[in-house]
């Protein structure tokens, strides 16, 4: 395992990207996507200093959450994949942040269960900036209305927005998507359609995270370059 070394390299690249645009590297959180590895390797990653972990499928995530609950109690789990409404009750109170709030029915279910538990659930609204049909999330033009619904849901705290860039060989191709999300966020905040808490952007993966950092990412979701053998 060379997780420590790989983390150092990724952090160096994030720091360099921050320097290019005058950002503070402390504003960027690496979410290590552990979907490719098992519980023992995930524990080794935590031991190497990585505390924020992401999973995109609940069935794959739960055994790891259970396995790490005692070994690494400080870990923060991020739910980054599409979430079925009937799985919401298993996600609440296990995950630190849901990055993929992508439809009204899901929001209603989270809100209902959160209020029953007396908690508020931090979420990011997923936005399909690129307009690709295969991508989940709201079209940017639909977000203001959705935020209006969320304003009536005390069980949900909107902390920002998430997007997926088209997969491709040229990382620069992702820049307009990342920049687009930042500009939409700025507009929603300025108009007051988004609550003041909705500042954080989750964008960028192994192939394009430096571009995402240059465009304002607060979370980069990094899997393959960190954890793949
Ligand atoms: C798998 C996954 C990632 C990580 O992708 P890599 O290219 O392996 O870094 C990021 N976000 C989501 C939603 C994913 O499913």
Q: Report the chain's terminal Cα–Cα distance, integer Å.
A: 8
Q: At what angle do helices 140-150 and 104-117 cross, to 10 degrees?
A: 20
Q: Point out the ligand 1 atom lying closest to the alpha carbon of residue 99.
A: 13
Residue nearest to atom 4 of ligand 1 (CA): 223
Q: Residue 1's pLDDT is what? A: 52
Instruction: Give residues (CB < 6 A) around ligand 1.
Output: 33, 35, 56, 80-81, 205-207, 221-224
Q: Residue 132's pLDDT is what? A: 87
The string of DSSP letters for 194-210 reads S-TT--EEE---TTTHH
Give the three-class secondary structure for 96: coil
Distance of CA 125 from the midpoint of ligand 1 (Å): 17
Which residue(s) pair with 98 in the sheet?
Answer: 79, 123
Residue nearest to atom 11 of ligand 1 (CA): 221
CA distances from 157 to 82, 101, 179, 184, 216 (A): 18, 11, 24, 19, 21
Sites in the chain below the pLDDT cut of 50: none
Tens of pLDDT along 137-160?
999 999 999 999 999 999 999 999
Q: Residue 152's pLDDT is what? A: 98
Q: Could you give the CA distance from residue 205 to residue 35 in angstroms, rounded to a whole number?
A: 13
Q: Which of 7, 56, 99, 227 to mutate to test the pocket of ligand 1 (most atoms within 8 A of CB)?
A: 56
Tens of pLDDT along 28-67?
999 999 999 999 999 999 999 999 999 999 999 999 999 9
């Amino acid at each position: 395992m060379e997780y420590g070394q790989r983390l150092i390299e990724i952090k160096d690249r994030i720091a360099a990207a921050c320097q290019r645009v005058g950002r503070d590297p402390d504003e960027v959180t690496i979410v290590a996507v552990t979907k490719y590895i098992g519980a023992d390797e995930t524990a080794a990653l935590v031991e190497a200093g990585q505390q924020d972990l992401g999973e995109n499928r609940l069935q794959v995530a739960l055994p790891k959450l259970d396995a790490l609950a005692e070994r690494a109690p400080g870990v923060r789990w991020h739910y980054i994949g599409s979430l079925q409404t009937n799985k919401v009750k298993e996600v609440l109170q296990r995950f630190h942040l849901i990055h993929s709030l992508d439809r009204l029915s899901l929001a209603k279910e989270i809100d209902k269960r959160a209020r029953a538990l007396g908690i508020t659930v931090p979420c990011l609204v997923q936005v399909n900036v690129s307009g690709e049909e295969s991508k989940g999330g709201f079209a940017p033009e639909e977000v203001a209305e959705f935020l209006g619904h969320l304003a009536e849901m005390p069980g949900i705290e909107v902390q920002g927005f998430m997007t997926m860039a088209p997969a491709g060989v040229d990382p620069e191709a992702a820049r307009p998507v990342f920049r687009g999300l930042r500009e939409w966020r700025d507009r929603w905040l300025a108009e007051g359609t988004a609550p003041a808490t909705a500042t954080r952007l989750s964008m960028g993966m192994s192939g394009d995270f430096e571009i995402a950092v240059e465009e304002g990412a607060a979370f980069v979701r990094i899997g393959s370059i960190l954890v793949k053998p």
